[in-house]
Amino acid sequence: MSNLLIAKLISRQPERDIQQAICQVLTLHGWFCLEYGQPGGHDGLRGSVPPGHPDIIAWKAGRGLLLEVKSAIGFLSTAQRHMHRMLGASGVTVHTVRSVKEALEAANEQE
């Protein structure tokens, strides 16, 4: 399979699929994982989750991890950039990740 075809297939992987895979793998690595889904589909939590809130919150051994999941071609919305700046100003890092590998790298930084 050509690299171009592989890149096209990866770029079409929905963020929701990436997000679910990340939570599954983090759980296998001992993290407690909450995922908030895609806009409009936050599993009944939409009213209590402000716009731009990271997709995933995970905890392990007293440490927290905030992840914003994007597809290979996804980008942060204005609300997400604003939320990430607000969280950053309060000392919280939000990691923007595009794969399970990147999420595990972020998680390893927290351990």
Q: How distant, in Å, are the alpha carbons of 7, 57, 65, 91, 99 from that of 39?
A: 25, 16, 20, 25, 19
pTM of this prediction exceeds 0.75: yes
Distance in angstroms between the alpha carbons of the first and the last residue of the chain: 37
Tokens 């171009």 locate to 4
* DSSP assigned state of 42: S
Q: Is the pLDDT of residue 102 over 70?
A: yes
The single residue listed with the structure tokens 């050509």 is 2
Angle (CA) 12 16 21, round 5°: 100
Tokens 């990691």 map to which residue? 95
Q: What's the CA gap between 8 and 18, in Å, rounded?
A: 15
**38-76: per-residue pLDDT in tens?**
544 445 555 577 889 999 999 999 999 999 999 988 999
> 96 or 16, which is more confident?
96
